[in-house]
Amino acid sequence: MAIQLKFSLPEKLYIKDPQTTKYGNKLLGNSVLLIDELGFEGFTFKKLAAKIDSTETSIYRYFENKHLLLLFLNCWYWEWLNYLIEVETKNLPSPQVRLERAIHLIVNAHHEFTLTAYVDEVILHKVVVMEGTKSYHIHSVDNENKDGLFVCYKELVERVAAIIELVQPDFEYPRGLSSTLFEMANHQLYFARHLPRLTDLKRKDDLKVELEKMLLIFAKKMLI
Amino acid sequence: MAIQLKFSLPEKLYIKDPQTTKYGNKLLGNSVLLIDELGFEGFTFKKLAAKIDSTETSIYRYFENKHLLLLFLNCWYWEWLNYLIEVETKNLPSPQVRLERAIHLIVNAHHEFTLTAYVDEVILHKVVVMEGTKSYHIHSVDNENKDGLFVCYKELVERVAAIIELVQPDFEYPRGLSSTLFEMANHQLYFARHLPRLTDLKRKDDLKVELEKMLLIFAKKMLI
DNA sequence: TAAAAATGATAGCAATACTATTATTTGGAA
DNA sequence: TTCCAAATAATAGTATTGCTATCATTTTTA
């Protein structure tokens, strides 16, 4: 039996925590599938309700609106990745190796680890790459930030920034490099898939290998 | 009398080119203001119509929907920046200096140059930073890409990639570095303004100076 | 086994994202 | 100058979205 991970996500993200109920699990799993299928703009609670044989009303008992659901999915992903980076880098010998491992996980975690029984992490990753930035590019950022809705991403970025600081204590931009690695991982992948002239990565089987190599080179050169 | 720039933007972006009419100019200028004020999600053609004392119907004669209007604004900004980088780097002595100038323009163009008489370029830049990624993170990317709607961004990225290749001909990731510089410029600025734990840049008067310095260091280190 | 909690069913409403039709204005060419 | 064509306005209408409210039913759990 697999371990079920339940994350403590910011309370204001949801009305009722979907991780705690069967219905909630179904809601989450299917929302990932449906957002992937329709795109976030085409996705509605009504369509999700139809997909899980339920009603809009019931979904509104979990989330105030679809934006917060998207942010929930992102936070979830960030928490999971943060947890993985923590346990997977803990006992590694040097900061350099830990950074390498972290970069490997940023690119590959969704293929190598399981989040839960009810969410397809490969598709969740697709959604994060495709729709992720929309979860924090919103008019109400400042208010939502006050409510702590972005701590998950901050902590994730800070975890890798901490490793970067160990690699090179006098480096001026540990957070900037860390957030850039996360953003690059998503954008370069997105570009390779959809707007290939914006990247040098080629869309083939080993795209992930190439991406990891690219991020590694960027990080290494920055920390020379 | 200032020179009025009119750009050739992809035809499928609009139904009728708003650059060619007085009404269109008013539409563009006010859409920038209103998107900045309400955020892209809160922005509607009805509200824009009210603001310019017109009707929804009239706006729909220029743009199929608000997504294409946002993309138009981005394309416009990209074309303008591309043009500026071209003329401003043309006669510079070395590739290094040209790259430095390009980075300076990515960060500062909107404060130093004028786009047109009817658009506030500082606010346009705010909109690009805040809402820009939404214009190419859409379910219909592949179709829109076929229609050539993203050429402006591609050409802009390629212009800087070409300079990068001159600086270091055997560098593996000219496009990747170029697109990353553009994306970083926006994201790090956005983070400094709204999610400061994600960056090392401090929110103060000389934020732009700091950002330029950061991008310069990144680029330099990559091309050692 | 009764109370409480969760979900479903139904209804409704204001706003959004359009389209269609018919006036009216306005800018240019004859 | 006037008349034509193009552009814009006015009005109306429709399906969908993004909710909220109420009440009935099912499921949990104490």
Which of B79, B97, B75, B77 lies closest to B88, judged by CA?
B97
Strand C bases, protein C-beta under 7 A: 6-11, 15-21
In a domain, A57, yes or no: no
How many domains, chain B?
1
Section B115-136 average pLDDT = 96
- All residues at 6 or more sequence positions from A40 whose CB lies less than 8 Å from its CB, including other chains: A66, A70, A130, A131, A134, B139
Count Cβ neighbours within 10 Å for each residue of B191-212 and write b for 16 or more, e otherwise.
Answer: bbbbbebbbbbeeeeebbebbb
- Give the CATH number, domain containing residue A90: 1.10.357
Q: Cβ of A22: how many Cβ atoms within 10 Å?
A: 9
Range of the domain at A161: 72-222
pLDDT for position B4: 63
- C-alpha A3: how far from its chain's center? 20
pLDDT of residue B201 exceeding 90: yes
- Which residue in B has a C-alpha nearest to residue A131's C-alpha? B137
When computed from its CA atoms, the radius of gyration of chain A, rounded to whole angstroms, is: 18
In a domain, B198, yes or no: yes
pLDDT tens, residue by residue, A109-124: 999 999 888 999 999 9
Which residues in chain B have their CB less than 8 angstroms from residue A137's CB?
A: 130-131, 133-134, 190
pLDDT for position A115: 87
Coil/strand/helix, residue A130 = helix
Q: Which residues of chain A are modeled with pLDDT < 70?
A: 1-4
DSSP state of B52: T
In a domain, B206, yes or no: yes
pLDDT for position A2: 47
In a domain, B4, yes or no: no
Which of B133, B144, B12, B7 lies closest to B70, judged by CA?
B133
In a domain, B45, yes or no: no
Say if the Cβ atoms of B194 and A224 lie within 8 Å. no
Distance in Å, alpha carbon of B72 to nearest chain A alpha carbon: 17
Lowest mean pLDDT among A22-31, A208-217, B113-122, B124-133: B113-122
pLDDT of residue B2 exceeding 60: no
Query: What is d(CA A162, CA A178) in angstroms, rounded to the nearest whole number?
Result: 9
Which of B121, B223, B113, B126 lies closest to B167, judged by CA?
B223
Helix axis angle, A95-112 to A174-194, nearest 10°: 40
pLDDT for position B205: 81
pLDDT of residue B1 exceeding 90: no
In a domain, A27, yes or no: no
In a domain, A195, yes or no: yes
Q: Cβ of B93: how many Cβ atoms within 10 Å?
A: 7
pLDDT for position A1: 36
Residue B170, judged by CB atoms within 10 A of its CB (0-12, 13-18, 19+), counts as: exposed
pLDDT tens, residue by residue, B140-179: 999 999 999 999 999 999 999 999 999 999 999 999 999 9
pLDDT of residue B189 exceeding 80: yes
pLDDT tens, residue by residue, B42-56: 999 999 999 999 999
pLDDT for position A4: 64
